[in-house]
Amino acid sequence: MATSTKVFVAQLVGLPVFGPDGESIGKIRDLVVALRIDASAPRVLGLVVELATRRRIFVPMLRVNSIEPNAVTLATGSVNLRRFHRRPNEVLVIGQLLDARVSIKATRGTAVVLDTAIEPTRTRDWVLSRVAVRQRTGRIGRRGPVQVLNWEEIDAPGLTELTHAPQGTAHLLALFDSMRATDVAAALHELPAKRRYEVADALDDERLADIIQELSNEDQKDVLSHLDDERAADILEAMDPDDAADLLAELSEMDKNRLLELMEPAESAPVRRLLEYPAHSAGGLMTPEPIVLTPDASVAEALARVRNPDLTPALASMVFVCRPPTDTPTGHYLGCAHIQRLLREPPSSLVAGALDTELSSVRPDDSLTQVTKYFAAYNLVCAPVVDEQDHLLGAVTVDDILDHLLPGGWRETNDA
């Protein structure tokens, strides 16, 4: 992400937002942050963008490609046009945090928030790291000095009053913010249905999608059935296509087709393709979004792609080289390159020179048993799925195999 390392929020308000091809999306009106249970900096969830129609929508920070002094550019032109509604445990920086009263820990004096600064972390998250405050002097007509402090240097107990979550739910949301999705899923399973639904309503779409992917089939259907159809479709769009397909396959034909119709065509297309295969076949197990490069790509480009923190370790272990198009189903499949081999190659060399052309591929109709034997024979954690015309359809990863080999309901038990 090409952007400044630290950005003051007041400078962002009113900036135009553009898609990757320069199309105008709207203007920034606010930022949304999530409070944490400890004193660590709040995580920035996304932007509140006002469209030309005056409708305000939410754009997740993961969709932001760059923040420049005169504009913000998104990594994708596809945005959710549903009207923005603040969820529990979320705070609007401009609308609620500015002018809020806080105390300075070192002096125990009170101050008023004038501005805040956000910056990215190594994991591509953004946090509200700095706070510009003006100290309160207690003397009428006299203004105190302005200080820029780290978030950890202030105490802001009154911020919890800015949320509208029930006390127990607000505490859970702050606690879940620092937990892995799989651990949150395990905690949700133990919650009463009412509290589970309150948490689901409060979470942003990207986070809820990550958590739903870690739930058991029954819990997935339970949470999805609680959501209205529009939000359920948004959650499915945010999920990995193979996980979305697995979930939809558990629903009735009527519910499945209704949700597919509500999804954006570009998001539903790969899910529809996966649903054509039996659940326990390579085609049903695969993800249609592996790393695909053309033969003229450099090793440096391949390594940059595998560094994406959104990739699982298994998907990041291998890149696939194909003739255009590179979206699945691709052009002619040429071979794969293992991450260990790429690390030994000069960055300027072509990835085509590091291909493993002798590794056989998996066919989409291969059974789970056949795919498992393939992984065991070649000691792999990721494998290409190629059709009879040598088009790459996707990749199967070892975590998907384990998920189907383990007995049903394994996510709900703590047995060793």
Please indicate whether residue 169 or residue 296 has the higher confidence score (pLDDT): 296
Q: Which of 385, 319, 328, 312 is nearest to 352 (CA)?
A: 319
Pairing of strands 71-74, 16-18: parallel
The confidence score (pLDDT) of residue 416 equals: 43
> How far apart are alpha carbons 66 and 266 in whole angstroms?
23
The confidence score (pLDDT) of residue 382 equals: 96
The confidence score (pLDDT) of residue 24 equals: 93
pLDDT in tens, 265-302: 989 999 999 999 998 899 999 999 999 999 999 999 99
Q: Flag whether pLDDT at 327 surpasses 60.
A: yes
Which residue(s) pair with 396 in the sheet? 383
pLDDT in tens, 30-65: 999 987 767 788 889 999 999 999 899 999 998 898
Which residue type is seen at 118?
A: I
Among 6-10, 163-167, 399-403, 410-414, the range scoring the smallest mean pLDDT is 163-167
Which residue(s) pair with 116 in the sheet? 131
Among 125-139, 225-239, 341-355, the range scoring the smallest mean pLDDT is 125-139
Among 33-37, 217-221, 373-377, the range scoring the smallest mean pLDDT is 33-37
Would you identify the CATH topology of the domain 2-92? SH3 type barrels. (2.30.30)
Three-class secondary structure assignment of the chain: CEECCCEEHHHCCCCEEECCCCCEEEEEEEEEEECCCCCCCCEEEEEEEECCCCCEEEEEHHHEEEEECCEEEECCCCCCCCECCCCCCEEEHHHHHCCCEEEECCCCCEEEEEEEEEEECCCCCEEEEEEEEEECCCCCCCCCCEEEEEHHHEECHHHHHHCCCCHHHHHHHHHHCCCCHHHHHHHHHHCCHHHHHHHHHHCCHHHHHHHHCCCCHHHHHHHHHHCCHHHHHHHHHHCCHHHHHHHHHCCCHHHHHHHHHHCCHHHHHHHHHHHCCCCCEHHHHCECCCCEECCCCEHHHHHHHHCCCCCCCCHHHEEEEECCCCCCCCCEEEEEEEHHHHHCCCCCCEHHHHCECCCCCECCCCEHHHHHHHHHHHCCCEEEEECCCCEEEEEEEHHHHHHHHCCCCHHHCCCC
Q: Flag whether pLDDT at 1 surpasses 50.
A: no
Q: What are phi and psi of 32, to 5 degrees?
A: -115, 130
The confidence score (pLDDT) of residue 342 equals: 96
**179-276 CATH:** 1.25.60.10
Q: Flag whether pLDDT at 89 surpasses 80.
A: no
Which residue type is seen at 343?
A: L
Classify domain 292-403 at the CATH superfamily level. CBS-domain (3.10.580.10)
Non-local CB neighbours of 72 within 8 Å, separated by 6+ positions: 12, 15, 16, 17, 18, 28, 47, 64, 66
Which residue(s) pair with 281 in the sheet? 367
Q: Flag whether pLDDT at 243 surpasses 60.
A: yes
Same fold, 2-92 and 95-162: yes
CA of 214: how far to CAs of 203, 278, 410, in Å? 15, 21, 11
> How far apart are alpha carbons 311 and 339 in whole angstroms?
13
Contact 334, 386 (CB under 8 A): no
The confidence score (pLDDT) of residue 162 equals: 54
Could you tell me which CATH class the domain 95-162 is placed in?
mainly beta
CA 228 to chain centre: 21
% of the chain beyond a pLDDT of 70: 91
Write down the domain spans for the chain. 2-92, 95-162, 179-276, 292-403
The confidence score (pLDDT) of residue 330 equals: 96
The average pLDDT across 326-331 equals: 94
Among 256-265, 302-311, 322-331, the range scoring the smallest mean pLDDT is 302-311
Among 50-59, 80-89, 147-156, 224-233, the range scoring the smallest mean pLDDT is 80-89
Contact 391, 331 (CB under 8 A): yes
CA of 18: how far to CAs of 10, 27, 106, 113, in Å? 19, 9, 42, 30
The average pLDDT across 100-121 equals: 89
CA 56 to chain centre: 21
> How far apart are alpha carbons 89 and 341 in whole angstroms?
45
Q: Flag whether pLDDT at 381 surpasses 50.
A: yes
Q: Which of 171, 136, 133 is nearest to 154 (CA)?
A: 133
